[in-house]
Chain A
Amino acid sequence: MEKFVVVALNSLLTAGLYATMSYGLAVIYGVMRIINLAHAGLMMLAAYATWALNDRFGLDPFLSIVIVAPAFFLLGMGLYATVIRWLPRSSAGPSMQSLLLLFGVWLVLQNLAYAIWGGDTQSILTPYTMESIPIFGGRFGVPQILVFVVSILSLVGLNLVLRRTYLGKAIRAVTQNRDAAMLSGVNAGQIAAVAFGIGTAFAAMGGSMLSALYAFTPDFGRSFLLKAFCIIVLGGMESFTGVAVGALVLAFIENFASAYTAIPVSYQDAISFTLLVVVLVAAPGGLPGLWRLLDRRVVAR
């Protein structure tokens, strides 16, 4: 029982991080119907930016989010204005062209990082990196707990923006129905630019926090991109709550699989990659789709 609680708490801590790094992918998909493969490259770049700030000025990785996230918001807007804007708009789902274009952006970012910082593994060491706090008989690392707190704060903040401000309402409107939103006077192009900025800022937040937990190279981010994609598919691709639920589900499956089954920890990534394929094939609507399916059966009976 004690083990169960510890594993569950661990999953919850992981889920916070997963939700933050996935939300950027979801908002860009929702507003533009683009699968942002450059997300991985942006997370990696943010990790390096955090590392550079820590290395030069001794800035704490969690404090540096205050600088890194706004900077990446601007970077995302710039990326939108220079590259993404020129894509032909597709009404029926994401196009191959947009996927490959962002894949190109990812490659450029990744190899830029190789050129600037080289291929050596980097990591950030803070005074509390090795510290841990005992809770319910388990020990939880201080960085993990900080990551969870920052994730929850950012998600609550985002939720407030989405529910209370004009910008948030416009983003949700474009996500639900682009044409109807434009008919109501929403400037969809501007909203897309801002949404790309927000998505990039969330990628940066995810990257900064990942850099406090893991060592990284310019190749960093691919497995987290796949996990994030798995999460937004699980969550039904567009909703804010869906992302949170998807992140919880993936974190619980991963943690419980490695705690209670014979699957070795080194295969933990393979679990989420396989889950991604299974969900895409078996339940393309994600959990909301499954829920609707079950709901309809009950009503039909």
Chain B
Amino acid sequence: MTGLLRRHPALLPGVLFAAFLLLAPLFAQRGMLNDLWNMAFFVVLATAWNLLGGFAGQVSLGYSAFVGIGAYTTVLLANAGWSPWLTLPIGAALAAAFSVVVGLPTFRLRGPYFTIATIGVGEAVRVIASGLEFTGGSSGLRMPAGTFDFNANYYAMVVLALLTLALVAWLQRHAFGLGLDAIRQDIDAAEALGVPSTRAKLQAHAISSALVAIAGGLFAVNFQFISPGSVFDFRLSLTIVLMPIVGGMGTMTGPVVGALLFSYLQIKLLASPVLRDSYLFIYGGLLIVVMLFEPKGIVGLWERLIALRPRRQAPPPVGEVRRAS
């Protein structure tokens, strides 16, 4: 048991936190549960994005497209009489298929060019979705009545967040995650060592977009109303990108820290009328600071602080040895 804990230092706090989230409906108020739902939603988005953006270094600014695909699949099928739960895998599959369609051409581009192309794709999707008839245009669509059950939705989102974390952590520790890491460090060297870089990127894109789409479906169920302006919004795309970058790209804890910080700030700042529209100001400032001083974000800053503290013996953290670059 102690050996297991030493090898996986995040296991114990993780299990405790998971237990807290799952037991929260027994004692917490509705308002707090709402906040927790919000946090879990952002944890899913940030962690899933981090698989492609952090581990493989392919920074995509077009992820709202996948939230939108998941949300619209759920609303449209639910209005056709489906159970909302059954629509989630369909949305995930559609998003994964779309991610391949987008990825095949754009993964030929490298670094910033890929990022710019994803802004183009995301904006094109938003413009087209706003013009289409079946998305409800700019006025949006409503879920059918009687599909809202807060507790079920709460559990679904928390379980999704935990599964996402477990899946990404598992992937990171296996050959697939190592391949993505190699792609981030040097794509040509990775290719030379036998990493099928395009296939690996497409797979990472498909997995993360499917997870994001499921979160999008639950978003639609929770808010009961969606429009292209809410789910295909560029601000959503950039929120998804900012959380893992400010928290710490390419780490497991970074996106979670970023998501918790973001949802906390959002909840606090949305309450103040002055800052309601400009809450991203703080995140923009953080992004500048992070890019200038500590590209690994809050997690990197924390590791530096730890390293500053004198210690008798400081064994290198196990998970980090191989990612020294």
Contacts and interface: CB of A to CB of B under 8 A. Distances in A.
Contacts of B275: 115
B57 to A, nearest CB: 7
Contact of B112 (A99, A219, A267, A277): A99
Contacts of B288: 83, 101, 104-105, 108
A106 B290 CA distance: 15
Contacts of B287: 100-101, 103-104, 107
A226 B284 contact: no
A108 B281 contact: yes
The A interface is mostly helix, strand or loop, or mixed, namely helix
A200 B237 CA distance: 26
B119 A226 contact: yes
A233 to B, nearest CB: 9
Interface residues of A, number: 45
B319 interface: no
B281 A119 contact: no
B218 to A, nearest CB: 27
Interface string B116-130: 110111011001101
A97 B127 contact: no
Contacts of A284: 109, 113
Contacts of B277: 111, 114-115, 118-119, 218
A39 B267 CA distance: 30
A115 B121 contact: no
A96 B120 contact: no
B269 to A, nearest CB: 11
A222 interface: yes
A158 B88 CA distance: 55
A93 B111 contact: yes
A111 B117 contact: no
Given A105-B288, A277-B106, A226 B120 contact: yes
B278 interface: yes
A300 to B, nearest CB: 25
A226 B123 contact: yes
Given A223-B123, A276-B117, A276-B120, A107 B238 contact: yes
Contacts of B274: 115
Contacts of B120: 226, 230, 273-274, 276-277, 280
A94 B112 contact: yes
Nearest to B110: A93
B117 A281 contact: yes
A115 B128 contact: no
A131 interface: no
Given A105-B288, A107-B238, A35 B127 contact: no
Interface in A15-46: 35
Contact of A95 (B112, B123, B130, B286): B112
A54 to B, nearest CB: 23
A94 B284 contact: no
A266 interface: yes
A274 B277 CA distance: 30
A55 interface: no
Interface in B277-315: 277-281, 283-288, 290-292, 295
Interface in A228-274: 229-230, 264, 266-267, 269-270, 273-274
A96 B292 CA distance: 12
B297 to A, nearest CB: 11
11 contacts: A35-B116, A96-B57, A97-B291, A100-B59, A101-B291, A108-B284, A112-B278, A270-B128, A276-B117, A276-B120, A280-B109
Given A107-B287, A111-B278, A273-B124, 6 more contacts: A93-B112, A100-B287, A104-B286, A226-B119, A274-B124, A280-B109
Closest 5 CB pairs of A and B: A107-B284, A104-B287, A111-B281, A111-B278, A104-B288
